[in-house]
Structures are given as structure tokens and as C-alpha cells.
Amino acid sequence: MVYYSFIQTAAGKLLLLADGYFLTGVYVLNQKYFPKIQKNWSLNNDLEIFTKTAKQLNEYFIGSRYSFDIEYRFNGTNLQELVWNRLSEIEYGKTISYKELAQEISYPSAIRAVATAVGCNPFTFIVPCHRVIGSDGKLRGYASGLTLKQKLLDLESNTKNPFLQEEFTNQNIEITEDGNIFDCTEEVKITGTLNNDNF
């Protein structure tokens, strides 16, 4: 069984997925690779893993949490899981390049494949793919947009907390018959692509 819930955070509305015990996904509303809600999924706002995740994410956004203690489970290809496991080891406030990441997991000639796996990370914020940048220090892509990626890096640089100034209204979410999400109050513009060699 797949359970889901929507939560409101300083980064916007998030979709949480779980199998009942383990977290299986965290997605920003309308981000790239956002999953369709399936008819056999069950809405459950009281699942313990969801309340725990929401609490820790809120602590992260106010700047009082530097790592997550959440039980999650990957479900990807061998390369994806290799990449995601390495992402989970990048410390708060640190960054690495796509090239360095590919070298560290012994795929030095597969930088683009590694970058694609980074982009497919199903655990936004929890598995910190935002800490991967171009070898020239520039932001190269982020499934939830480069604006949010920069805010996360600013938060972790300890110079300012951009999320303390954010104001959000309750968003009106509709789920269409084919499982697509329609946000009646806000459009999320996806920016940033991995379309050059400065990984």
C-alpha cells in the first residue's frame, strides 16, 4: 500500500509518500518528476512517519536541524541508489560537483548519467541533492527550480535564513481523475537545466 499526505512548509506545499513504515518520497508540488496520485493510494495525514517528517522539515527550515533522522527506503536502479546513498553523506553546509560525485562512486565517465540520477532523487531536502553544484561553483539544475536550490544553500551557509521571511497561504489542491495535481493558488516555475559541460 502507498500512503500519501500533503504538508505545508516554508518551502511550499510538499507531497509525502510512504509504505506505512518507511518514507518513500518527498516532492515539492509540481516539481519535475512529480508523481501522479494513483487511485489505489491512500490519503493518511496521521501516519507516524509523516508527522515525524513534517516536524523535522520544519526544524530544518527554521535553521535548528542540520541532519534528518527519518527511516526512508530507496527504490531505484543500481546507479540511482548508488548516487542517492552518496548524496545522503554530504554534510550540511558542504557542496560537491557532479564531476566529483561521479568520481567518488567510480563512474568518472558517466557524469551526465550521474547528474540525471541526482535530478531523480525522490527525497527532496532529506537526501540533499541541492548540495551538488557545477565544477565552476554555479548552480546547474534542480528539480524544484534554481531559486529554491539557492535558498537552501543560503540557509546552510549560515549567512541568512531566506525561509524565515516567506509567507504562504493555504494552497487549494485538486487531484484530477488521471492522478495529476492541480494547484489552484500558485504555479511553480521549473528552472535550470543540465545542458552544458560545467559539471
- Does residue 120 have an active-site annotation? no
Q: DSSP string of 41-71?
A: -EE-TT-HHHHHHHHHHHHHHTT--SS----
Residue 198 identity: N
| Alpha-carbon span 174 to 46, nearest angstrom | 20
Residue whose C-alpha cell is 516536524: 55
Strands, E, within the chain: which ranges? 3-9, 12-18, 23-28, 42-43, 96-97, 132-133, 173-175, 181-183
| Alpha-carbon span 176 to 174, nearest angstrom | 6
If we measure between CA atoms, which residue out of 107, 155, 186, 142 comes closest to residue 32?
Answer: 142
Which of 26, 83, 129, 188 is an active site residue? 129
Which residues are known to be catalytic?
A: 129
